[in-house]
Structure 1
Amino acid sequence: MSATTEAAALGTDAIDVATAVPVDDGNGDDDALSGVEDIISAILPGACETWNDAQHVLFQLASICFLLALLLPQVIKPHTWIFRGLLILGFIFMCLWGGIAVCITDVIGWYILFIVMNLVHVSYLAYVQREAEFEKILEDVYAKIFQPLKVSRDTFANLVAARGKIFELKQGDVYAVEKRTTSEDRIAILISGTLRVSCEDHLLHYIYPNQFIDSCEWEAFRLNQGKQFQVTITAESPCRYICWPREHLKYYLQMDPFLDAVFHNIIGKDIITKLYLLNEQLIRKPPKTLNMVDIRNSVARDDPTFTMQRLSQLGSPEDFAAFKPLSMPGDKPPPGGRPLSMSFETTV
């Protein structure tokens, strides 16, 4: 056998061996990817004959941003802001991918449009959710009275805008005169200063900032039990107060059931506070002919206010010159102090 014949035989054997024994050339991943492509081609016949490699890292980052935006739970308070921020970031990555990796103007144009639309929407949200503004002197009123009851700044600002007006009283000016001033046309909250409440020149109690001036009269008029002030209210110092017309405020509260409930809660608390003030005066100096039972019975009668002639027996202004109002519910009692009880011997 010639050398040429032997070489040919050896070559044939080598080809057979190479064909019979597979050699790992490092393309296993490509084969797996090819299998996936075959499956997709079977589901969508004719869609793609050839498949490209994995896309640029910018495309992957954009996809991650979209995924995070969709998985973001709504329980997170700034959910809307984070959601829009992730969308805008993903659109920016897609825009860069269209200009750097694939160089397609359509991709750039569409995603620029998406970015602009989301920026406009974010600007609108910022405008709608901006912090409501009202006069600075009302900040303490909102923080002390309305904010603890979950009233938003927007709601309070709308309440102030509902024909709420701020008035001033100089020292010695009179807010209401007993049996002369009607109580049917307004309700007010004291912003600053101190008001003195008296009947027939006898001191009953003081009204301090963040308290209603005429809460008792508001409730009495609502129950059709009185249309005139039974007390005189005088400014002990320069005062400011915000006042609403009764009918307009009632109409506004009817349009907002939540605020209506809040308002009745605040007024009820204010009336109870005033009863506590009278109660403390009775404890400090118990009169001989007047007790809490008389007050209770007079409140239960049709007349919303108890007999002022009997109330005048509580004492003179000098008796209560050093009187300090009872702390509001929730305040810490003074050292060594004890809660004030409203219970009295009920002997009628």
Structure 2
Amino acid sequence: MSANSPSWDQAVLRPPVCDAWNDITEEAAYQLASCIVLLGYMGGSGIFGSLYIFGLLAPGYFCYALWGWLSACGLDIFIWNMLLVLACLLQLAHLAYRLRRNTIPEEFDLLYKTMYLPLQVPLEVYKEIVKCCEEQVQSLVRDQNYAVEGKTPIDRLSLLLSGRIRVCQDGQFLHYVFPYQFLDSPEWESLRPSEEGTFQVTLTAETDCSYITWPRKKLYLLLRKDRYIARLFSSHLGYDISEKLYSLNEKLFAKFGLRFDIRLPSLYHSCARRYSSIELSKSSAGERAYTRRCQQD
């Protein structure tokens, strides 16, 4: 160390005092760099705030590097600021990658905001659900069948995104399925993972429709692997089935029996037994009293 260079103690305890200020201001590159860096540090938080900050810091440090190379003639100034420019560019590339990875198609984004965001479902969990349906949106044209009574196997679970589906049984209209309702929630709940079955109703598109669908086996694997997603689907399916049953209250009538949109086998068989008891009671002396009691129910 040379004798003229001050020690660290002297630099801290007795810093040098400027004898005179330089009347000559720095070059325009230095002034521009300072303004850009000042604006850059006014950014907010979050991924877009970080994009704003590093997007301005990179050209700001680049202007500092130009000033160090052309005006200050300091190699260390140029090198340090170019390293800062490189760090900002790498950070921008990382943020752009994260932003692209977090971007989902418009239909799935709207689905997340409608069904999952109110329940505070993390976006990463929602991506696992979307990944299970391969991020594909299916479509139905008007009057096209989604399922045919007694023929279509129950091998999937679908959710309507747009349009309207008509549900019929034995040619009789039962109810509609509207956007963000499951098309086949009763069928899904009616079978165990190892069982197979067919639809007991016919589902027909009344308008052009779009929906997403999860293959049965693939969705069962996801539900078995993630208990949180399993509870989430259980609550959604339970709410969907209850909405369908409540919407069918107007379809209930008493005239030699009752008629429901019965797609759950346990409920179907219980009502079938009730139909048989009604038919037997018609030949008994208490037929009128029994019919009157059914009408009151």
How far off is 1:79 after superposition?
Answer: 4.0
- Three-state SS of the structure 2 residue aligned to 1:204 is strand
- Three-state SS of the structure 2 residue aligned to 1:171 is coil
Counterpart of 1:276 (choices 203, 228, 246) is 246
Counterpart of 2:72 (choices 85, 98, 102) is 102
Q: Where in structure 2 are the equivalents of 1:259-270 lying within 5 Å?
A: 259-270=229-240
1:202 to 2:172 alignment: yes
Q: Deviations over 1:58-107 (max 9, x none)?
A: 489759948985x9775x56342244245435523532442355321232
1:41 to 2:10 alignment: yes
Q: Deviations over 1:216-255 (max 9, x none)?
A: 222232598x743462123153554432211212323555
Cα contact 1:188–1:242 (8 A) shared by 2? yes
Residue number in structure 2 paired with 1:216:
186
Counterpart of 1:232 (choices 185, 201, 209) is 201
The 1:106–1:39 alpha-carbon spacing in structure 2 relative to 1, beyond 3 Å, is closer
Tell me the TM-score normalized by structure 1: 0.54
Q: Deviations over 1:139-167 (max 9, x none)?
A: 76555444554568886666444344525
Cα contact 1:194–1:206 (8 A) shared by 2? yes
Distance in 2 (CA, whole Å) between partners of 1:173 and 1:275 is 22
Residue number in structure 1 paired with 2:91:
121
How far off is 1:213 after superposition?
Answer: 0.9
Cα contact 1:199–1:230 (8 A) shared by 2? no
How far off is 1:112 after superposition?
Answer: 1.9
Q: Give, as a single letter, the amino acid of the residue that structure 2 aligns with 1:215.
A: S
- Three-state SS of the structure 2 residue aligned to 1:129 is helix
1:132 to 2:73 alignment: no
Distance in 2 (CA, whole Å) between partners of 1:221 and 1:266 is 17
Cα contact 2:167–2:175 (8 A) shared by 1? yes
Q: Give, as a single letter, the amino acid of the residue that structure 1 aligns with 2:88.
A: N
Q: Which runs of 5+ in 2 are unaligned?
A: 1-5, 276-295
Distance in 1 (CA, whole Å) between partners of 2:145 and 2:72 is 80
Cα contact 1:290–1:310 (8 A) shared by 2? no
1:248 to 2:228 alignment: no
Distance in 2 (CA, whole Å) between partners of 1:54 and 1:288 is 106
Q: Which runs of 5+ in 1 are unaligned?
A: 1-36, 313-346
Q: State the aligned residue count.
A: 263
Distance in 2 (CA, whole Å) between partners of 1:103 and 1:78 is 36
How far off is 1:281 after superposition?
Answer: 3.5
Tell me the TM-score normalized by structure 2: 0.62
How far off is 1:126 after superposition?
Answer: 1.4
Q: Deviations over 1:246-294 (max 9, x none)?
A: 1212323555665544433332321121022112444xx56685599xx
Cα contact 1:197–1:231 (8 A) shared by 2? no
Distance in 2 (CA, whole Å) between partners of 1:286 and 1:126 is 63
1:171 to 2:143 alignment: yes
Cα contact 2:140–2:205 (8 A) shared by 1? no
Q: Give, as a single letter, the amino acid of the residue that structure 2 aligns with 1:41.
A: Q
Cα contact 1:132–1:157 (8 A) shared by 2? no
- Three-state SS of the structure 1 residue aligned to 2:10 is helix
- Three-state SS of the structure 1 residue aligned to 2:179 is coil
RMSD of Structure 2 on Structure 1 (CA) = 5.0
How far off is 1:186 after superposition?
Answer: 1.0
Distance in 2 (CA, whole Å) between partners of 1:270 and 1:229 is 20
Cα contact 1:197–1:204 (8 A) shared by 2? yes
Q: Deviations over 1:97-130 (max 9, x none)?
A: 4235532123213312321331232133113213
Cα contact 1:187–1:243 (8 A) shared by 2? yes
Give the percent of matched residue pairs that are identical in Structure 1 and Structure 2: 26
Cα contact 1:195–1:233 (8 A) shared by 2? no
Residue number in structure 1 paired with 2:266:
303
Cα contact 1:167–1:243 (8 A) shared by 2? no
The 1:155–1:168 alpha-carbon spacing in structure 2 relative to 1, beyond 3 Å, is farther
Residue number in structure 1 paired with 2:50:
80
Residue number in structure 2 paired with 1:340:
none
Distance in 1 (CA, whole Å) between partners of 2:191 and 2:51 is 48
Q: Give, as a single letter, the amino acid of the residue that structure 2 aligns with 1:171.
A: D
Cα contact 2:165–2:178 (8 A) shared by 1? yes
